[in-house]
Amino acid sequence: MDENEMISRGMEVFEECYRGVVPMPAVDAREFSGMTMKMFNDFWGDGRLSFREKRLIVLGILAGSGADPSLFTTHAKSALRNGEMTADEARAVVLMALPYVGFPKASPIFVATEMLIAVESKQESGTDAGATKS
């Protein structure tokens, strides 16, 4: 597989991974975006683990590293929308991380995950956060 094929397949895998949660960047083979698509081809495109298994690994790493909670919720949102996990399972990931990463790292992802689940639940049920009862 040549570089262009790797990038093209990586773009397909990127779309499958995020399904619009993260917009497809403009891709240039010699820039960061090109390397990113090759990474998606090589790692996310490797079929030895399911997307769900890969996602759980990534969520654990993000929780443990203390990365910005938005990175955690990007993957959690993608997992919820792709049917890779339920809201309850997303909560369980955060709970499982707590004794290993500690409260200072788990607390922000807990809050971010609960906010994400609330927003996703409202979208699924068709309710508008700004709507009022009459």
Alpha helices in the chain (DSSP H): 3-18, 32-39, 51-65, 69-81, 87-101, 103-125
pLDDT, residue 83, reads: 96
CB 55 within 8 A of CB 79: yes
* Domain end marker among 28, 44, 60: 44
Q: How many CB atoms lie within 10 A of CB 64?
A: 14
Minimal CA–CA distance to 116: which of 57, 71, 67? Answer: 71
Domain count, the chain: 2
Residue type, 99: P
> What does pTM read for this prediction?
0.86
Q: Which pLDDT belongs to residue 123?
A: 86
User: Can you give the pLDDT at residue 12?
Assistant: 97
Whether residue 66 sits in one domain with residue 110: yes
**Contact in structure between 45 and 6 (CB atoms under 8 Å):** no
Within this chain, do residues 40 and 73 fall inside the same structural domain, yes or no? no
Sequence letter at residue 133 = K
What pLDDT was estimated at residue 127? 63
Structural domain of 7? 3-44
Task: Judge if 20 and 69 occupy the same domain.
Answer: no
- CA dist., res. 70 & res. 22, Å (int): 12
Q: Do 68 and 115 have their domain in common?
A: yes
| 55 and 34 in a common domain | no
Residue 130 within any structural domain of the chain: no
The residue to which tokens 């990463």 are assigned: 101
Tokens at 90, concatenated: 């997303």
Residue 132: inside a domain = no
Q: How far, in Å, CA of 29 to CA of 61, rounded?
A: 27
Pick from 25, 23, 21, 20: nearest CA to 7: 25
Chunked mean pLDDT (size 10), the chain, 134 residues: 95 96 95 96 96 97 96 97 96 97 96 96 72 42
Q: What letter does residue 42 receive in the DSSP assignment?
A: I
